[in-house]
Amino acid sequence: MTAQTAAATATASRARTGGPETDGPKVLEHLMGWVLVAVVAMLVTQLGLL
């Protein structure tokens, strides 16, 4: 086995850490984004920045 093949095998067998392809449902992600927008909007209005 060459060094290049060994490196490719080691990379391929490495466990995934949960990148964008394995995230949960897109609906939940979208909902949490809007919750963050609402929280920031409430904070801005409470502080009188708008």
Check pLDDT > 70 for residue 16: no
CA angle centred on 43, ends 37 and 47, rounded to 5°? 150
Check pLDDT > 70 for residue 36: yes
pTM of the predicted model, to two decimals? 0.51
Return the pLDDT at 39: 98
> How far is the C-alpha of 27 from the C-alpha of 48, rounded, in Å?
32
